[in-house]
């Protein structure tokens, strides 16, 4: 196997074939097989480098950009540029569908880590997949839960898959216009990429027939509760939270505020454990939609998945399934149960800040 830039080559005998295949995480472009005699791999590498550079020039901006990204470690500026391209392509689809342009009241964010951008990108991918199903009855395979430290390259891969699926939608709708890829701004940070994805998520939700609703938020809160339960099982005697009463006539803004309370408890747990989470300015509650609530729930899951990945001996969390129709009041009750469980975990963490590295936990 020989690698040149982003391309991998398999060399057979002198009478055999040299077959090339593109890294699927970087570009949908593919090339033909090439017949070539077997000779020194060093010379072969040099020749192929020249050939591929020529292909990049002839093949257009997509291949050139992928080759440029592949020649260095993918960073936040690359992720941001890709999200901007996706948003430009999304705008073409929005206009074709005759949907309204929605405002983007995204508050300021700072100290954003790749893990937090990753889970927003997963939400983006899920929404594009849902739009794809509604318009084409086709979806792309879901991503497996991440393991270990999340880096910008993983975020890039999720956004790229979302962009590939969005371009399939464009083709289905007969949209011939192509959004040009903008320049790479080296000053862009994870916070910029995070903001860009949140804006795309907000617009996407208005383009769906079945928009993200309280049922989707309920499932995401249940996922957060599942991770919390797994972490609490590391405690000597985890306390079973008291039953949370059901309160009628709650609205998305009520759930949003309740989830913000949960986030503050998670922030304390992270800080007591020697880590940090992003800072952000909450939205004005008058403009809150279920999609905005889902974004906060997704952020909760991102932080809890990170804690779970750092915990020695933590069991795998149970899978969260779609619960069927739910109202904001149901989600509010679920978020109250999560708050009780997180508060109990915080008490235990305050007693032993090194709990994540304590072998089998605090048992």
pLDDT of residue 303: 96
Quote the CA–CA distance of 306 and 225 in Å, as a whole number: 14
pLDDT given at position 284: 82
Residue 301, burial from CB neighbour count under 10 angstroms (0-12, 13-18, 19+): buried
Question: What does the pLDDT average to over 225-247?
Answer: 87
| Lowest-pLDDT choice from 12-21, 102-111, 222-231, 287-296 | 12-21
Q: What is the SS3 assignment for 301?
A: helix
SS3 for 354?
A: coil
Q: Assess contact for 222 and 334: CB atoms under 8 A.
A: yes
Say what the pLDDT of residue 31 is. Answer: 39
Percent of the chain with pLDDT over 90: 64
The strands making up 7-11's β-sheet, listed across from edge to edge, are 2-4, 7-11, 17-22, 34-35
- Picking from 30-34, 229-233, 281-285, which range would have the lowest pLDDT averaged per residue? 30-34
Report d(CA 83, CA 77) in Å as an integer.
10
Q: Is the pLDDT of residue 266 over 90?
A: yes
Backbone phi and psi for residue 21, each to the nearest 5 degrees, phi listed first: -140, 140
Residue 172 has pLDDT above 80, yes or no: yes
- Within the chain, strands assigned E span 2-4, 7-11, 17-22, 34-35, 109-110, 279-280
pLDDT over 80 at 232, yes or no: yes
In this prediction, residues 15-25 reach a mean pLDDT of: 34
pTM: 0.77
Residue 6 has pLDDT above 60, yes or no: no
Buried b (16+ CB within 10 A) or exposed e, 218-242: bbbbbbbbbbbbbbbebbeebeebe
Q: Distance (Å, rounded) from C-alpha 67 to C-alpha 53? A: 9
The whole-number pLDDT of residue 77 equals: 97
Contacts of 177 (CB under 8 A, 6+ apart): 92
* pLDDT (average), residues 229-254: 88
Residue-wise DSSP of 253-298:
HHHHHHHHHHHHHHHHHHHHTT----EEPPPPGGG--HHHHHHHHH
**What does the pLDDT look like over 90-139, one tens digit per residue?**
999 999 999 999 887 667 899 999 999 999 999 999 999 999 999 999 99
| Average confidence (pLDDT) over 60-67 | 32
- List the Cα angle 190/193/196 in 5-degree steps: 150
**pLDDT bucket at 71, cuts 50 / 70 / 90:** low
| For the chain, domain boundaries | 2-70, 73-211, 212-363
Question: Which two structure tokens, joined as six digits, stand for 226?
Answer: 């599942």
User: First-to-last CA distance in the chain?
Assistant: 48
CA atoms within 13 A on the CB side of 91: 12
Confidence of residue 358 (pLDDT cuts 50, 70, 90): low
* Averaged pLDDT score across all residues of the chain: 81
Q: Sign of the CA dihedral 63, 44, 153, 227?
A: positive
């Amino acid at each position: 196997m020989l690698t040149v830039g982003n391309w991998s080559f398999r060399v057979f005998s002198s009478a055999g074939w040299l077959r090339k295949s593109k890294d699927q995480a970087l570009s949908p472009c593919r090339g033909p097989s090439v017949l070539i005699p077997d000779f020194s791999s060093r010379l072969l590498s040099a020749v192929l480098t020249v050939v591929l550079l020529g292909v990049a020039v002839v093949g257009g901006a997509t291949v050139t950009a992928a080759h440029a990204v592949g020649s260095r470690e993918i960073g936040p500026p690359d992720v941001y540029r890709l999200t901007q391209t996706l948003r430009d392509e999304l705008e073409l689809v929005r206009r074709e569908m005759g949907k309204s342009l929605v405002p983007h009241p995204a508050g300021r964010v700072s100290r954003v880590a790749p893990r937090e951008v990753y889970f927003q990108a997963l939400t983006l991918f899920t929404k594009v997949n849902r739009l794809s199903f509604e318009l084409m009855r086709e979806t792309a395979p879901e991503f497996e839960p991440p393991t270990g430290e999340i880096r910008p390259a993983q975020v890039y891969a999720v956004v790229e898959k979302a962009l590939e699926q969005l371009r399939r939608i464009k083709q289905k709708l007969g949209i011939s216009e192509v959004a040009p890829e903008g320049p790479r701004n080296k000053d862009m940070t994870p916070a910029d990429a995070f903001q860009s994805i949140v804006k795309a998520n907000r617009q996407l939700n208005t383009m769906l027939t079945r928009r993200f609703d309280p049922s989707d938020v309920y499932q995401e809160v249940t996922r957060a509760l599942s991770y919390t339960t797994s972490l609490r099982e590391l405690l000597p005697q985890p306390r079973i939270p008291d039953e949370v009463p059901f309160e009628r006539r709650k609205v998305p803004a009520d759930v949003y505020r309740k989830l913000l309370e949960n986030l503050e408890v998670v922030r304390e747990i992270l800080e007591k454990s020697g880590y940090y989470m992003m800072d952000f300015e909450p939205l004005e509650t008058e403009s809150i939609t279920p999609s905005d609530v889902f974004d906060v729930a997704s952020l909760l899951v991102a932080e809890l998945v990170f804690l779970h990945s750092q915990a020695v001996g933590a069991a795998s969390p149970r899978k969260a399934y779609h619960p069927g129709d739910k109202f904001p009041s149901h989600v509010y009750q679920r978020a109250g149960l999560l708050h009780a469980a997180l508060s109990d975990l915080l008490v235990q963490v305050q007693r032993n800040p090194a709990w994540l590295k304590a072998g089998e936990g605090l048992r």
